[in-house]
Structure 1
């Protein structure tokens, strides 16, 4: 049986979920990411990859970064990579995108640069990142660990977190908070849909976007 929470999350956009975090006093919205395929939106459970600068210790077997996360993922999961070394090196590339797509991974979110962007677009694999590069990770960065806490936009993302990501932002939600976040986000989405209906019925914007809208995110103590 599928995760009903994911079904609900995939009907929401990042802004509705971000507004909900504000309403509930939670953190988790990461802005400034670039979508390699504008218009795409992903939502799923998180697997993480943490990279470090340099080469892997000599006593460790050679491993291609990201491969273990793909192997650990199921259909509909999202991979989140931390490449915050400041080194100009890709933390995700075309072969990884193809392997992840084959496994059913919904997309990747990278705190760092990615490469083979046109290839990801060509195969329809959503990639969100800080920027693009052609530089390989080899001899620059290596995979330190898979499925450990990583930092994205100053926020600590744990394996198993929920995420929704589109061109506006990536929004992460812990399993402990997901039920109340979904309930509140769905309420916000319903109210915004009603506002849209009223605007399309030619009601004045000042009437539709009045106190009801301004107080929609008031914190509930």
Structure 2
């Protein structure tokens, strides 16, 4: 992303329920404050789960400032059964232990035990949302691991993957050289500093 001048990195969202890296296309959910006027016919995020294709990732925006979960254990189970690859919450998630039992990847800004009932409503599914400072569109791509969450616009995915493949190939050769005894200062010289720019 740096090499291509693209922005999409979000830090501070933690990997809570598994140690698994996730990558796939995005389905978005936006949550808002329940002011008592909305009459929800479905539970939060169930529409996204039901419309997801296998391997897709649900990304939920819950930036209301309320201590209320954007995601929970039964949603993790339902998503896993439906083939969803994981969830990323810009906001808190709950039932982390249940999600671990289901071996379903949950990434979240925070955790809580407070339910969304009476506190949050679903505002939109598959509409643009904001995660960190990044505007995320349905159909974008995301990769998440213990270091960060990175969003890539669908229009940029081919060149991002091509660039990433080249960098990974170079870093693999560097790792082999380090294992073979080449001094690390020599391996990680000026070439390494310039290959990411």
Per the normalisation by structure 1, the TM-score is 0.87
Gaps of 5+ in 2: none
Q: Work out the CA distance in 2 between the residues paired with 1:56 and 1:84.
A: 18
Q: Is the 8 A contact 1:56 1:143 kept in 2?
A: no
Task: Check if 1:72 corresponds to 2:46.
Answer: no
How many residue pairs are counted as aligned between the two chains? 197
Alignment check: 8 A CA contact 2:18 2:104 kept: no
Q: Judge which range, 34-43 or 77-86, deviates more.
A: 34-43
Correspondence 1:146-161 to 2 at 5 A: 146-161=125-140
8 Å contact kept, 1:38–1:167 = no
Encode CA deviations 1:141-200: one digit per residue, 9 max, x unaligned: 110010000100110000000111111111111111011100000000000111100000
Q: Which runs of 4+ in 1 moved over 4 A?
A: none
Superposed CA RMSD in Å reads 1.1
2:20 corresponding residue in structure 1: 40
Q: For the structure 1 residues 177 and 56, does the alpha-carbon distance in structure 2 shift closer, same or farther, using more than 3 Å as the test?
A: farther
Q: Assess, with a 3 A threshold, how the Cα gap between structure 1 residues 142 and 52 changes in structure 2: closer, same or farther.
A: same
Shift of 1:55: 3.9
SS of equivalent to 1:130? strand
Q: How does 1:179-218 map to 2 (within 5 A)?
A: 179-218=158-197
The one-character-per-residue Cα deviations of 1:101-134 (angstroms, maximum 9, x if unpaired) are: 0000000000000000000011100000011101
Establish whether residue 53 from structure 1 lines up as the match of residue 6 from structure 2: no
Structure 1 residues 56 and 188, CA gap change in structure 2 (3 angstroms): farther
| Structure 2 counterpart of 1:103 | 82
Contact 1:76/1:104, CA 8 A, preserved across alignment:
yes
Give the superposition deviation at 1:62.
2.5
Native 8 Å contact 2:91 2:109 kept in 1? yes
Partner residue, 2:63: 84
TM-score scaled by structure 2?
0.97
